[in-house]
């Protein structure tokens, strides 16, 4: 019985990683950059809801909308100021470093505005928990909402990319920016749109992260951000269903290794499994193998 | 590329010169001081000399909540003392430096303060940084009192360093004894942070002492700084082993999550914590009903009813807009302890750093201070504080003293 | 033409060494005449540490062309191996310098071996996948060190991965590595002079490697792996070579770091991915593959937060803004064009040299 309840705990944790990883992998897949600031956009999303709902007393729905809008704008702005000028830079590492700069900036900005004290986040989910087997097994409302959101977002993104013109443009940009430009695709606009969507997803992930684990500080986003990055790589970075699978698998491994091996060494074990998976399948679970041309 | 490098080199040379020049320029304190010692400075010019007290803590980074509390707590005490005419008529100048909770940065902060002319140090806030800085201050023979560096290594081998807080072993042993003697529980689970000096230090001594006590530790599970959002496994294990009490030698940020998650899984043991748990009721927007019945050994509670605490809390809230936690109270006490030691020894600000340290060291053995975090606090020669921890229980969303 | 390039390399190297030696002389003069602040004096050894780290990472990132996000892990191995050795032999080897030199060798070798062991399986991964695996290894090392307990008593060494109680130390036993509490009381052997010597040693190793046959083989792997393989270059050997040397140098920096602080702990701040990323920032800001650039940017970025102390709580915010601006200034193609257009050289000389 305890195994099943650990498994469910793993899925709960994994679903949170998955929803963050979806945004990560979306941006990585199209713009081909590791956006280290993604975790901090998540934090901004959480703080916006906290500010609107808990401090200003707005209805939850208004807080959610405000958060999504704000994060979308933030994502577009960050891309415009910090990433776009470096898109043609000699090395793709340059933009990685500005992303780190942006991450520091967002953290310190939040620290100055909201202070360092931990804030308890009021869950945006009102769904009650489901109890099975006489209360021994419990699935929280947050978990259900997170998993449903993951599936909706995953389906929505897949449809968007494959069925709409803008989505096809994204695919083209991710394949070859130069050729896409020649085909009359607005590359800058497409990448802006990618960041807008990625950041809107970050806002949603932020709310769900904080609902599931209700403590909010300026550094709330950074560690889940890294974990989600690991999850995205696990699933095959750039692959949208991969992000979902990677997130859930990561969560389950983390919980089970804590439960059955060692709670002190859980981080090491998770990373060890990641390394083994990548050594066996170097592009992640669902990653595409790319044949390199000379 | 090349031009840029030239520019960088120039910048570099400029930077080095600026830093090197800091020693010779005397007014550098004005722009490096973070806490506007303006009122102190203005009044101080009357007779020239002031006591220069430095403080160190993390005001940015993940541990900022503790550093900012120390920064404000000490600042409040300094302002009060200056408003009341200073120490023996001499005013205090105060300067706080950020160390980002990094041992190396803490030494940088210490050196910055030294350049500023610091005579006494309130810091560092966190144990690791405090150990690193203590080695430097022992070398300079500079008087150091740490509000919250609770590791034994902070004070051992350095007779110039004193603590306001309890040492970690003290807390671990104290907690185990309290649980045993009062028969709070038979089966005890522990959840601790294995990557944190404070938490693993208490845990170790708690387990050691538990062997002598009439209760049994049924599960001891850890978490790490990189893995501190999900506690379902640790709680599940405690629940499965039938623990009646969960000992939490951790800080309140994680504890608030543990309480929330325990409530969600219908697990309601007794929770027992140390001074790190203090502040849990002040987590903004926290549902204090979750903390109902939590017991903790702490020297300070922000809603205690005595006049000193009330005055401190309202002054702190008015000045910084936050409810003070134990770190703020420790830092506030640290400044008043300095004041008491200076008054006792009759030290004057024109003494050298080393002479001042010797005078204060002597005085520390003699004084007894009533502060927010303890009554009649006195010090051993090794620097550890003697004070009685108070056992508190959270009842109706308030701390109340267990008799 | 060929001769000219060789001269250029030599000239370049001489300038690099010159900068280091000049900096050393200037600083020593300032120290001896007392014209130096305590802050600057305290920063000298850390500066050496970060310069070595930046140069050594540049070997992996710039010369080998592989992105590594676990450099702090190697530093951590070196730091703990070196500090452990010093702590054990503190009573046995009375000569500080000798003990420190041995500690440096031990730290470097330990980190080099770990680098070799990690490099063997992972170097066949490419790009971002390699980056994440190195990040993972860095975190694993930090996590293990955090639960590693080693004690010493009359019957020898005791190890545990649980807590110091399970070491079962006998009477008079001493816990040397105490889990998260790390190693305390490491002798403070690191000095600026030794730091500078280690920087020069690092530069000699790295610069000679770059301009050697092996170095050219390594760079050919960076430029085109398949082409390099097809002309018979042993990819695995050269990748491992660069990676282990880089790890060993990072370990050396770690020993220097550990012997400058009396308390050594593996926190996310000093040995976590944050530090690895910070070292990467040094390398990228200074120019990938540009050794002198790494040195300069490591120095600037280490000094910058200290120079900004006057801004009190706005310090780290301004730091991040400056970092972004410097990156844009250094890397943005538009700004590079603009800079070339209005460069001093061009303003003063009417025509640019014909290439």
pLDDT in tens, A238-254: 788 999 999 999 999 99
Minimal CA separation from A261 to chain B, in Å: 11
Which pLDDT belongs to residue C43?
93
Which pLDDT belongs to residue C4?
53
Q: Residue C180 is encoded by which pair of tokens?
A: 């998260």
Q: Which residue, A249, A247, A253, is CA-closest to A269?
A: A253
pLDDT higher than threshold 80 for residue C170? no
Residue A165 lies in a domain: yes
The verdict on a CB contact (< 8 Å) between B233 and A219 is no
The verdict on a CB contact (< 8 Å) between C324 and A272 is no
**pTM of the complete model:** 0.90
pLDDT higher than threshold 80 for residue B17? no
The verdict on a CB contact (< 8 Å) between C320 and A108 is yes
How crowded is residue C208: how many other Cβ atoms within 10 Å of its Cβ?
12
Q: Which residue, C176, C138, C141, is CA-closest to C156?
A: C176
pLDDT higher than threshold 90 for residue C252? yes
Q: Which structural domain, as residue segments, surrounds residue A104?
A: 14-221
Is the CA virtual torsion C67, C72, C78, C81 positive or negative?
negative
- Is the CB of residue C313 less than 8 Å away from at least one CB of chain B? yes
Which pLDDT belongs to residue A45?
95
Taking CA atoms, C342 is separated from A107, B2, C348, C352, in Å, by 36, 14, 10, 12
- Is the CB of residue B223 less than 8 Å away from at least one CB of chain A? yes
The verdict on a CB contact (< 8 Å) between C323 and A97 is yes
Beta bridge partners of B144: B121, B161
- Domains of chain B in start order, with CATH, are 37-166+310-386 (3.40.50.2300), 169-298 (3.40.50.2300)
Nearest chain B residue to A112, by CA: B60
Q: What is the mean pLDDT of residues C124-141?
A: 87
Sheet strand arrangement including B390-395: B216-223, B187-193, B245-248, B270-273, B295-298, B390-395, B398-401
Name the neighbours of B, counting chains with at least 3 Cβ pairs within 8 A: A, C
The verdict on a CB contact (< 8 Å) between A272 and C331 is no
Confidence grade of residue C336 (pLDDT, cut at 50, 70, 90): confident
The verdict on a CB contact (< 8 Å) between A267 and B236 is no
- Is the CB of residue B263 less than 8 Å away from at least one CB of chain A? no
Residues 135-194 of C with CB under 8 A from B: 139, 143, 146-147, 163-165, 179-182, 184-185, 188
Contacts C67 to A, Cβ<8 Å: 93
Contacts A91 to C, Cβ<8 Å: 284, 288, 331
- The backbone torsions φ and ψ at residue A192, rounded to the nearest 5 degrees and listed phi first, read -60, -45
Contacts C321 to A, Cβ<8 Å: 101, 105
Of A5, A54, A213, the CB nearest to B257: A213
Of C125, C327, C331, the CB nearest to A278: C125
Ranges of each domain in chain C = 48-292
Q: Residue C77 and residue C54: Cα distance in Å, rounded?
A: 17
Question: How would you label A6-19 residue by residue, b for 16+ Cβ within 10 Å and e otherwise?
Answer: bbbbbbbbbbbbbb
Q: Residue B183 and residue B310: Cα distance in Å, rounded?
A: 33
Is the CA virtual torsion C89, C95, C99, C102 positive or negative?
negative
Number of domains within chain A: 1
- Interface confidence, given as ipTM, is 0.90
- Is the CB of residue C62 less than 8 Å away from at least one CB of chain B? no
Q: Which residue, B295, B270, B257, is CA-closest to B187?
A: B270
Residue A259 lies in a domain: no
pLDDT higher than threshold 60 for residue A292? no
pLDDT in tens, B108-142: 999 999 999 999 999 899 988 999 999 999 999 99
Residues 203-242 of C with CB under 8 A from A: 224-227
Which pLDDT belongs to residue B305?
76
What's the DSSP call for residue B388?
P
pLDDT in tens, C20-51: 999 999 999 999 888 888 899 999 999 999 99
CB pairs under 8 A between A and C: 130
Residues 47-106 of B with CB under 8 A from A: 59-62, 64-65, 67-68
Confidence grade of residue B38 (pLDDT, cut at 50, 70, 90): very low
Which pLDDT belongs to residue B6?
52
- Is the CB of residue B244 less than 8 Å away from at least one CB of chain A? no
pLDDT in tens, A46-80: 999 999 998 898 999 999 999 999 999 999 999 99
Contacts C224 to A, Cβ<8 Å: 294
């Amino acid at each position: 019985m305890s195994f099943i309840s650990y498994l469910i705990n793993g899925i709960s944790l994994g679903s949170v990683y998955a929803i963050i990883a979806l945004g990560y992998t979306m941006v990585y897949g199209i713009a081909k950059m590791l956006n280290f600031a993604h975790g901090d956009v998540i934090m901004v999303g959480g703080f916006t809801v906290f500010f609107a709902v808990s401090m200003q007393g707005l209805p939850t729905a208004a807080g959610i909308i405000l958060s999504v809008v704000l994060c979308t704008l933030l994502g577009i702005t960050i891309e415009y100021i910090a990433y776009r000028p470096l898109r043609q830079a000699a090395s793709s590492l340059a933009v990685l470093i500005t992303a780190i700069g942006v991450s520091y900036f967002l953290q310190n900005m939040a620290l100055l505005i909201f202070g360092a004290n931990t804030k308890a986040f009021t869950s945006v989910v009102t769904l009650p928990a489901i109890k099975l087997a006489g209360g021994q097994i419990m699935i929280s409302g947050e978990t259900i909402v997170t998993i449903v959101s993951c599936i909706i977002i995953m389906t929505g993104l897949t449809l968007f990319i494959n069925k709409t013109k803008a989505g096809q443009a994204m695919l083209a940009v991710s394949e070859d920016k130069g050729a896409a430009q020649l085909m009359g695709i607005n590359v800058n606009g497409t990448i802006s749109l990618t960041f807008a969507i990625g950041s809107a997803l970050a806002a949603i992930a932020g709310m769900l992260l904080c609902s599931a684990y209700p403590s909010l500080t300026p550094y709330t986003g950074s560690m889940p951000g890294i974990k989600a990055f690991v999850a995205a790589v696990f699933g095959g970075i750039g692959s949208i269903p991969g992000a979902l699978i990677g997130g859930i698998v990561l969560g389950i491994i983390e919980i089970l290794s804590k439960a059955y091996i060692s709670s002190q060494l859980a981080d090491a074990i998770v990373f060890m499994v990641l390394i083994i998976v990548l050594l066996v399948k170097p592009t992640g679970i669902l990653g595409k193998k790319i044949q390199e041309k000379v | 590329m090349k031009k840029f490098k030239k520019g960088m080199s120039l910048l570099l040379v400029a930077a080095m010169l600026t830093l090197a020049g800091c020693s010779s320029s005397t007014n550098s304190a004005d722009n490096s001081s973070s806490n506007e010692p303006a009122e102190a400075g203005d009044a101080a010019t009357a007779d020239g000399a002031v006591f220069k007290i430095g403080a160190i803590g993390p005001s940015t980074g993940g541990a900022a909540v503790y550093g900012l509390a120390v920064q404000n707590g000490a600042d409040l005490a300094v302002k009060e003392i200056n408003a009341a005419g200073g120490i023996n008529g001499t005013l205090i100048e105060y300067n706080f430096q950020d160390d980002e909770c990094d041992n190396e940065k803490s030494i940088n902060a210490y050196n910055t303060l030294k350049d500023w002319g610091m005579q006494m140090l309130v810091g560092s806030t966190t144990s690791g940084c405090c150990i690193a800085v203590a080695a430097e201050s022992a070398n300079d023979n500079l008087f150091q009192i740490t509000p919250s560096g609770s590791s034994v290594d902070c004070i051992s081998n350095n007779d110039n360093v004193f603590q306001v807080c309890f040492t970690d072993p003290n807390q671990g042993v104290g907690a185990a004894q309290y649980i045993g003697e009062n028969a709070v529980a038979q089966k005890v689970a522990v959840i601790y942070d294995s990557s944190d000096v404070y938490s693993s230090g208490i845990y170790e001594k708690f387990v050691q002492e538990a062997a002598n006590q009439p209760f049994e530790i049924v599960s001891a599970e850890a978490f790490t700084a990189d893995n501190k959002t999900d506690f379902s496994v640790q709680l599940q294990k405690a629940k499965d082993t039938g623990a009646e009490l969960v000992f939490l030698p951790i800080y309140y940020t994680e504890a608030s999550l543990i309480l929330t998650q325990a409530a969600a899984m219908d697990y309601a043991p007794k929770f027992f914590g140390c001074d790190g748990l203090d502040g849990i009721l002040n987590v903004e927007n926290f549902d204090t009903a979750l903390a109902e019945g939590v017991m903790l050994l702490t020297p300070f509670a922000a809603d205690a009813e005595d006049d000193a605490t009330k005055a401190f809390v309202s002054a702190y809230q008015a000045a910084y807009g936050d409810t003070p936690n134990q770190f703020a109270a420790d830092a506030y006490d640290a400044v008043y302890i300095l004041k008491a030691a200076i008054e006792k020894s009759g030290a004057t600000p024109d003494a050298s750093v080393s002479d001042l340290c010797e005078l204060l060291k002597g005085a520390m053995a003699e004084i007894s201070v009533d502060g927010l975090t303890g009554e009649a606090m006195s010090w051993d020669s090794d620097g550890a504080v003697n004070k009685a921890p108070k056992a508190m229980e959270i009842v109706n969303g308030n701390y109340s003293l267990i008799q | 033409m060929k001769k000219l390039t060789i001269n250029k390399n030599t000239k370049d190297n001489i300038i690099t060494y010159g900068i280091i030696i000049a900096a050393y002389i200037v600083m020593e003069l300032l120290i001896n005449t007392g014209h130096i602040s305590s802050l600057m004096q305290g920063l000298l050894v850390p500066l050496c540490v970060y310069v070595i780290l930046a140069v050594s990472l540049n070997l992996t990132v710039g010369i080998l062309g592989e992105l590594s996000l676990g450099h702090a892990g190697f530093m951590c191995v070196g730091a703990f191996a070196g500090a452990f050795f010093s702590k054990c032999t503190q009573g046995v080897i009375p000569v500080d310098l000798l003990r420190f030199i041995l500690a440096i060798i031990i730290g470097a070798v330990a980190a080099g071996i770990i680098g070799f062991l990690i490099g063997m399986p992972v170097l066949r991964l490419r790009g971002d996948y390699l980056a994440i695996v190195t990040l993972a290894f860095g975190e694993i090392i930090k996590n293990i060190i955090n639960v590693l307990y080693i004690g010493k008593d009359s019957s020898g060494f005791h190890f545990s991965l649980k807590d110091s109680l399970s070491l079962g130390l006998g009477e008079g036993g001493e816990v040397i590595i105490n889990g998260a509490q790390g190693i305390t009381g490491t002798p403070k052997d690191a000095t600026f002079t030794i730091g500078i010597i280690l920087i020069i040693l690092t530069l000699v190793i790295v610069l000679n490697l770059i301009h050697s046959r092996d170095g050219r083989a390594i760079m050919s792997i960076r430029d085109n792996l398949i082409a390099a393989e097809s002309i018979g270059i042993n990819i695995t050997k050269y990748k491992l070579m660069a990676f282990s040397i880089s790890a060993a140098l990072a370990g050396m920096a770690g020993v220097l770091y550990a012997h400058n602080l009396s308390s050594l702990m593996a926190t996310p701040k000093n040995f976590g991915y944050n530090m690895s990323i910070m070292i990467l920032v040094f390398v990228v800001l200074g120019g990938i593959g540009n050794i002198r650039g790494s040195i300069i940017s490591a120095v600037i970025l280490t000094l910058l937060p200290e120079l900004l102390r006057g801004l009190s709580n706005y310090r780290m915010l301004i730091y991040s803004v400056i970092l972004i601006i410097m990156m844009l200034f250094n890397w943005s193609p538009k700004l590079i064009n603009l800079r070339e257009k209005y460069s001093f050289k061009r303003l003063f000389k009417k025509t640019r040299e014909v290439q």
